[in-house]
Amino acid sequence: MSRCFLYWFRNDLRLADNRALTACIAALDAAHDFLLPVYCMDPRQFAMLDLGFPKTGVHRRQFLEDCLRDLQQRLQSKGSDLLIVEGKPEVVLPILVTMLNAVAIYGSKQMTREEVTVEQALENTLQNGLAPHSCDLHLTAQMPLIEKDHLPFSIENLPDVFTQFRKRVEKNWQVLQPQQEPTRFPAFPQSLSFQALMSTPESSESQALESHTSESQALEPGIKPVEIPDSRPALPLTYPGGESEAHKRLQHYFWETHGIQTYKETRNGLLGDDYSSKFSPYLVLGCLSARQIDAELCTYEARVLKNESTYWLRFELLWRDYFYFVFMKYGNRLFQANGLSKTPVPWKKDQAVFQAWCRGETGIPFVDANMKALNATGFMSNRGRQNVASFLSKTLKIDWRWGAAYFESLLIDYEVCSNWGNWAYIAGVGNDPRENRVFNVVGQGKRYDSNGAFIQHWLPELAGLPAHLVHTPWKLNPLEAGLFNLSLPAHYKSPLAVQSLQ
């Protein structure tokens, strides 16, 4: 008798090297069983925050939709499909299980607070809510480059300083080979009731289903399929999402431009496409795995060139792993005001100052240009992120978690561990061994944007200034301002916290 399985896509929106998906396909009989690939648009992820912006902003949502559209098309080309539904996974998935008599749900395991809460709620419903029908939940962790079991120490003994972690990991280097995309895909369930549900969200089937669910779930609206529009709205997203685009980017950065050869020298760049790999958005939604990048690096090193730059990309991927394991060790402490620090920090909660930072109106051109770039594109360079984060938390002394939440809303490459871990690090409550490090954002601007091209790109009001004046417009006297035909907005005349930057 044929059985039905569910594959729950989360931050693993790819077919190749998807170990959880491979495990799922291996467990079923591809000739007879059915597989329903499903993605849940969880409304909690799109809610408004008290800070006045949504948890997921428009850029991030659009990037996600790109990824889902691409995944759907890839699955369709294999004779399958992707059901995208609006709803909480712990509510929607049990409904689908009941409808289809599914015997198991497979998916990726995550380990941060909100994601684990969802997993536990789902597990609970599957164990308690579906009797006599039973359905197993199989979740496989697959985000880092280095498997947890291949670390040369236990998570409790994870070094608190990155360099120690890196050196020990490099000595015991073990990375799994990426897996090929499944060649044969099980059929998509085509039961009548399912078809009806797909075409009429408010159908009697979906209402009937609600009566199968527990009291609290019955309040939920049932299953609402989501259609991702075919064409993308005209948002200036720098990078289109999806597994197909991820492989194009890999191809571009390694084999077409050979940008990888000079990564170490260019990685602090600010303008343009190729100063860094731009793999991060693809990594965070799982369009690409870190193992696939590492395998490509190995091929490149064997066939073309192995140098400090190829090493450095791996080095950066280890930072990503490090924050992942730090979260595994310390869990929710990284969401708290004091982070890993034992000393309480009196963070300020000044909304007006925070809003000026968000809008890119602090009056410090290097900070403002970076924030404008983020607001317009959903992306900011690593150099920019370090500076704006340090400025908000160390110079303005605003609660760093507000800044982290703003990044979460905006960044197309938002990832829980990398974002909150980096923010805590910069704010001085994470894993930085250096005491009280503060970025001098004016000095950094002069160093990394010496000709002012980045600032002038994002702040056209400063475009008329010569490079040596563009970083400190508050120093212009009225005569100079007249000479360059400038009427500067007020924040450039009296920027926030300029005293500490002179």
Q: Which stretch binds ligand FAD (CB under 6 A): 16-24, 47-55, 303-311, 314-322?
A: 314-322
* Between 347 and 474, CB nearer to ligand FAD: 347
Among 34, 414, 454, 492, binds ligand FAD (CB under 6 A): 414
Report the distance separating Cα 167 and Cα 172, nearest Å. 9
* Between 112 and 125, CB nearer to ligand FAD: 112
* Between 213 and 395, CB nearer to ligand FAD: 395
* Between 194 and 253, CB nearer to ligand FAD: 253
* Between 223 and 290, CB nearer to ligand FAD: 290
* Between 203 and 238, CB nearer to ligand FAD: 238
* Between 88 and 249, CB nearer to ligand FAD: 249
Report the distance separating Cα 192 and Cα 18, nearest Å. 30
* DSSP β-bridge partners for residue 139: 107
Query: Are the CB atoms for 347 and 397 separated by under 8 Å?
Result: yes
* Between 70 and 415, CB nearer to ligand FAD: 415
Q: Does 411 bind ligand FAD (CB under 6 A)?
A: yes
**Cis peptide bond N-terminal to 132, omega within 30:** yes
- 53 φ, ψ to 5°? -140, 160
Q: With left for phi above 0 and alpha for psi between -120 and 50, is residue 331 left, alpha or beta?
A: left
Q: Per-residue x/- marks for ligand FAD, 266-305, CB under 6 A?
A: -x--------xxxxx--xx---------------------
Report the distance separating Cα 351 and Cα 355, nearest Å. 6
Report the distance separating Cα 19 and Cα 26, nearest Å. 10
User: What is the DSSP track for 368-422?
Assistant: HHHHHHHHHHS---HHHHHHHHHIIIIIS-B-HHHHHHHHHHH-TT--HHHHHHH
- Gap between the terminal Cα atoms of the chain: 76
* Between 106 and 400, CB nearer to ligand FAD: 400
Closest separation in Å from C-beta 251 to ligand FAD: 15
Here the tokens at position 161 are 């300083």
Closest separation in Å from C-beta 321 to ligand FAD: 8
Q: Per-residue x/- marks for ligand FAD, 417-436, CB under 6 A?
A: -xx--xx--x----------
Closest separation in Å from C-beta 409 to ligand FAD: 11
Helix (H) or strand (E) holding 68: helix 58-77
Q: Does 316 bind ligand FAD (CB under 6 A)?
A: yes
| Residue labelled with tokens 């100079």 | 480
* Between 98 and 382, CB nearer to ligand FAD: 382
Q: Does 389 bind ligand FAD (CB under 6 A)?
A: yes
Closest separation in Å from C-beta 262 to ligand FAD: 12
Interface with ligand FAD (CB under 6 A), residue total 29
Q: Are strands 4-9 and 104-109 parallel, antiparallel or unpaired?
A: parallel
Query: Are the CB atoms for 250 and 296 separated by under 8 Å?
Result: yes
Q: Per-residue x/- marks for ligand FAD, 319-338, CB under 6 A?
A: xx--x---------------
Q: Please list, residue by residue across 185-205, b when 16 or more beta carbons sit within 10 angstroms of its beta carbon and e when fewer do.
A: bbbbbeeeebeebeeeeebeb
| Pick from 192, 209, 198: nearest CA to 92 | 209
Q: Which stretch binds ligand FAD (CB under 6 A): 43-51, 121-129, 343-351, 377-385?
A: 377-385
Among 13, 15, 285, 317, binds ligand FAD (CB under 6 A): 317
Q: Which stretch binds ligand FAD (CB under 6 A): 39-47, 135-143, 163-171, 379-387?
A: 379-387
Report the distance separating Cα 200 and Cα 128, nearest Å. 29
| Local structure of 84: helix, strand or coil | strand
Q: Which amino acid is at 311?
A: Y
DSSP 48: B
Q: Per-residue x/- marks for ligand FAD, 239-268, CB under 6 A?
A: ----------------------------x-
* Between 9 and 239, CB nearer to ligand FAD: 239
Residues that bind ligand FAD (CB under 6 A): 267, 276-280, 283-284, 313, 316-317, 319-320, 323, 381-382, 385-386, 389, 407, 411, 413-415, 418-419, 422-423, 426
